[in-house]
Structure 1
Amino acid sequence: ASDFINKPIKDEVLSIALERAKEKLDIRRQLKEYTDDLENMVKIATEEFERKSNFQSKLIRSSNDGIVATDDEWNIVTFNPGAESIFGYSGYEIRGSDARKLYPPEISDALEKIAACAEARKAELPWREISITSKSGEAIPVRCSGAILREKNQMMGSVTFFQDLREIKRLERELLKSERLAAIGQTVAGMAHCIKNILHGFKGGSYLVDIGLDRNDTNRLKTGWQMIQRNIGRTSDLVLDLLSYSKERPPEYEPCLPNDVADDVCELLKENANEHDIEIIRAFSPDVGEVSMDPRTVYRCLLNLVSNAIDACMFDEDALDKEHCVCVRTIREEQKFIRFEVEDNGAGMSDEVRAKIFTSFFSTKGGQGTGLGLLVTMKLVDEHGGTIGVTSSLGKGTTFTIRFPYD
């Protein structure tokens, strides 16, 4: 500046110098504005990040589902209150521990398999129902899903979700119990005709017994007593079916031989089958050895099905020349299941009848059936964790298939 003041200068040079000074001042002002804007943007971005982080944290903590997140070495970093409620551990005592020791083996193995495949398109574990063991040893039913988190094909962590099904299962049991009790009420009302027939049988039998005693007629006495015995059996079956259907009975596992259980059923009903020229065929697989299951449940289910099969042959009036038979099979399946098949070549069922056989007090036996036998069978199979199915062709026969899991 002193050069311009002490020395004569040209207007053109002074103009250039002032222009450059103005540009520098403008640049400094712009830099300050940019700096202020950048600081403001950083502040806004930080506040937004904190807001989203707090939102996600509150979202995770307020979720009713259990959420467990890990780092790339399977160490637990997130364990929300939902997970605490399900597993019984506090976040303080579980964070930092290996999640694979917390999860059931099938979940740990599935997640490790997904994590090991870096090129897997789907790094997610589909929803499935499983049972987990809590800190107290309680078996808790849950729905579970999970995912492996990746960055550039490298695992950076995992997250697993658990939905507590205890309340849902409790409500399902309550609903099933209510439906069962309602069905019993409907059954009792709908079985008035069946009970009346039983009473008629008792009256007819007692009348013949009285006649036989008065006239010393042994034949009438024997016929009347047989009639009374038959109706005692029908009354007993009716009461047992009602009790079995109304009460919940968890399976009682114990070592047993399924082939022996099936053989006992066949032996019990053999005389009744022989009286009506019906052959009972026993096709037991030698692969079925000793297993752990509920033999009483298996026995009751087979007793109902084989008895029904014999009745189906007896009621097959359109095939008088047919050689009726009932085949009872046992088959050992994979994944720890025993399959029982009861096949007959009796009357068979139409599609309409087959669609109704598992409904309350529906019977194809008229006044001789209670309509509860198959309902009881299905209930017992369900309680044992098994399945029941049926195939039938009118005039050709029917096959019932039940599958029971074993330990």
Structure 2
Amino acid sequence: MRLLDTEVSRTHAAIEREGDKFVLKDRNSSNGTFVNGAQVKSRTLKPGDQIQIGRTILQFLQGDHVGSRRAADRVELLHQADGTDRSSIVGQMALTGGLPLKDLPAAVSNNTDARLQATMNLQMLYRISEEAVRPSSSMTQILQRMLDLAIETLGADRGCVLLRDAETEALQAVAVGFRGQESTIQDESSSLGASFREGTSTKEASAAKDPGEKTTGRIPVSRTIVDYVVKSLQAVRTSDARHDSRFETGQSIVRAGIREAMCVPLQARHELMGVVYLDITSSAEEMILLGDQPRFSEEQLRVLAAIGRQAALAVENQRFQEAFVKSERLAAMGQTIATLSHHIKNILQGVRGGSYLIDLGLGKTDTELIRKGWGIVDKNQGKIYNLVMDMLTFSKERQPEMKLSQLNDVAQDVVELMQPQAGEVETKLIFQPATQLPTSTFDPEGIHRAILNVVSNAMDAVEHADDPRVVVQTGFDEPRDLLWVSVEDNGTGIAPENLSKMFLMFESTKGARGTGLGLAVSQKIIREHGGDITVESQIGKGSRFVLTWPRLEDETQMPGMRTLVDG
């Protein structure tokens, strides 16, 4: 993998497969390799880990352990009306007053088994909290890991997470889990893409679930229970209806296979995010052996409610973050439009002024007036061309068009192009090319634009100097095998507090005359070549910009194969 980053070494790190694991190994890099903020030499990667190499942050993702069926297709809501909802509530708990675990019975302190179970629950909640803040590619993956932990710890056979769509408020499945089976992580692009199937008949539900296949059929979830949890915001524990008077004795619950279930709301700080559902399935033989002995307890309901609280906060935080990113993007777009509109308006005013002089000259047959007006139009035409080119260069990812070129020729062309402008403002523009400069492979058009922007910036800086002078030099750092171009002026200099903002987009010290794009574009181009721009400046004495990048010997090499730190 090639990274356009000046702080990345030539062979910085490697990811090697060892069995079913992937191991990140640092290869004695100059600036080190970091995983989730910690520097490492070797680390087994987990999905969601953030890898920092130089200034670049990568995220490690493995193929989701996804079956052929999406989560929303594996959850089925049942209604009382069609006879498939056989559940009844045997316990419930309100979530008001904070964390449910605070109400654990005092008997725990005198019961060794209860104390051990409480410790295990706290360990599990700690793991859940870690999952909530762990880097991940999507909220679906976080919820899936939380669900898997809940199923494992609470002894459930199956479970699902149902999130409420922020716009339609419809509950939709985003994660499904089975004990002892791989996760079913739904693709992020369709995480809210399908609603539950409703009104499925008992016959169809039975067909969807072959006997003995606990991990491939749909999970039947009681719509009555879900609606109750959503409306009451209470965690509930349910049983089957073997002793419920609503159902005839002859109705078999073995077909649905649900023995017990728990359902808790995902209640965040400000709104309900959805529900978490867990159940226990039993074969006919298991039900005969176990009898009426319940496997879910009130304490387990409290634990699941605490898990639901953590999951809800994680979902809410992610939605807040998405809203924040969206608002930041809109704000950036607004700033860009406002700034560019201002500059374009100023340029068009110049074009209108020049056009007026041309029109006046044509009416009077005054060639000199026409020539003067055309000069103004031509100058502003150049400004808008440069603005558009800078916008295109900065806004899109581009691959430098590498050619075998001579740096002196490119720099000399820039100086010759700027000489007429320098003459107009009585500025000395001096070119000092290096002798015996080696031929190198780079993008001549890109480097030309980078140098041109810096020289243009220097010309503006010396506007009010007594003896305005701009010196352009080229050179070759042979020990480090680096090419460089220096642009030095004797202008006003740059204040220390402005140095850190020189290359930020739309940051300019020229007032209405500056677009704030030129230096940002130059830096982007040089970094695409694996280099960077450094600045030295003193108030009242001037500034020196140095563009430096690694020399490539032929066109088969690509920018980024060598960076400044390799020297």
Q: TM-score, normalised by structure 1?
A: 0.57
Contact persistence 2:462–2:468 (CA under 8 A)? no
Unaligned runs of 5+ in 1: 1-64, 69-78, 87-102, 111-124, 131-142, 147-159, 172-177
Aligned residue in 2 for 1:405: 550
Match of 1:278 in 2: 427
Aligned partner of 1:215 in structure 2 is 364
Aligned with residue 330 of structure 1, among 475, 485, 508? 475
Counterpart CA distance in 1 for 2:490 and 2:459 is 10
1:366 aligns with 2:511: yes
Which residues in structure 2 correspond to 1:86-97 (within 5 Å)?
none
Shift in Å, 1:406: 2.2
Native 8 Å contact 1:144 1:162 kept in 2: no
The partner residue of 2:485 within 332, 340, 353 is 340
SS in 2 for 1:395: coil
Aligned residue number for residue 269 of structure 2 = none
Secondary structure of 2:394's partner? Answer: helix
Work out which of the residue numbers 229, 232, 241 in structure 1 matches 2:381. Answer: 232
Cα distance, 1:375 vs. partner? 1.1
Contact 1:329 1:342 in 2 (8 A): no
Give distance in 1, aligned partners of 2:477 and 2:519: 24
Q: Distance in 1 between matches of 2:413 and 2:486?
A: 15
Confirm whether residue 390 of structure 1 aligns to residue 535 of structure 2.
Answer: yes
Other-structure match for 2:352: 203
- Following superposition, the deviation at residue 254 of structure 1 comes to 2.5
C-alpha change, 1:375 and 1:67, in structure 2 (3 Å) is: closer
Q: Is this contact kept in 1: 2:434–2:474, CA < 8 A?
A: yes
TM-aligned CA deviation for residue 272 of structure 1: 1.9
Instruction: Write the distance in 1 (CA, Å) between the matches of 2:414 and 2:450.
Output: 10
Coordinate RMSD, CA, aligned: 3.7
Instruction: List structure 1 segments (4+ residues) > 4 angstroms apart after TM superposition.
Output: 65-68, 143-146, 160-168, 178-185
Match in the other structure for 2:392: 243
CA distance in structure 1 between the aligned counterparts of 2:39 and 2:495, rounded to whole angstroms = 42
Q: What is the aligned counterpart of 2:21 among 82, 91, 94?
A: 82
Q: 1:268 to 1:180 in 2, by over 3 A?
A: farther
> How many aligned positions are there?
266
CA shift for structure 1 position 129: 5.2
Q: Deviations over 1:327-372 (max 9, x none)?
A: 3232324333212211111222222333332222122333322111
Task: Give the Cα–Cα distance (whole angstroms) in 2 for the partners of residues 67 and 336 of structure 1.
Answer: 31
Residue-by-residue CA offset, 1:120-152 (whole Å, 9 max, x unaligned): xxxxx998459xxxxxxxxxxxx9965xxxxxx
Q: Are the aligned partners of 1:66 and 1:81 in contact in 2 as well (CA < 8 Å)?
A: no
Task: Tell me if structure 2 keeps the 8 A contact 1:241–1:376.
Answer: yes
Q: 1:169 to 1:83 in 2, by over 3 A?
A: closer
Q: Which runs of 5+ in 2 are unaligned?
A: 1-13, 61-325, 553-567
Structure with bigger RCO (C-alpha 8 Å, 6+ apart): 2
Q: Deviation per CA, 1:364-401, whole angstroms, max 9, x where unpaired?
A: 33332211111111111222211111111222111001
Partner of residue 451 from structure 2, selected from 284, 297, 302: 302
How much does 1:323 deviate?
A: 5.0
* Alignment match, 2:416: 267
Residue number in structure 1 paired with 2:58: 169
Provide, for residues 306-326 of structure 1, a one-character-per-residue CA deviation record: whole Å limited to 9, x for no partner. 111122122x2xx43x25232
Once the 2 structures are TM-superposed, how far is the Cα of residue 161 of structure 1 from its aligned partner? 5.0
- Paired letter, 1:211: L
Deviation at 1:258, TM superposition (A): 1.5
Does the C-alpha gap of structure 1 residues 162 and 346 become closer, same or farther in structure 2, counting only changes over 3 Å? Answer: farther
Q: Within 5 Å, which residues of 2 pair with 1:173-188?
A: 183=332, 185-188=334-337
What is the CA–CA distance in structure 2 between the aligned matches of 1:310 and 1:180, rounded to whole Å? 34
Maintained 8 Å contact 1:180/1:246: no
Q: Is the 8 A contact 1:250 1:384 kept in 2?
A: no
Which structure's residues are more often helix, by fraction? 1
Alpha-carbon distance in structure 2 between the residues aligned to 1:267 and 1:294: 19
Rate the CA distance shift 1:299–1:170 in 2: closer, same or farther, 3 A: farther
**Which amino acid in 2 is paired with 1:205?**
G
Determine the C-alpha separation between the residues in 1 that align with 2:353 and 2:549: 43
SS, match of residue 338 in structure 1: strand
Instruction: Provide, for residues 287-320 of structure 1, a one-character-per-residue CA deviation record: whole Å limited to 9, x for no partner.
Output: 4211222222221111111111122122x2xx43
Does structure 2 retain, via aligned residues, the 8 Å contact 1:333–1:339?
A: no
Residue identity over aligned pairs, in percent, reads 38
**Which protein shows a greater Rg?**
1
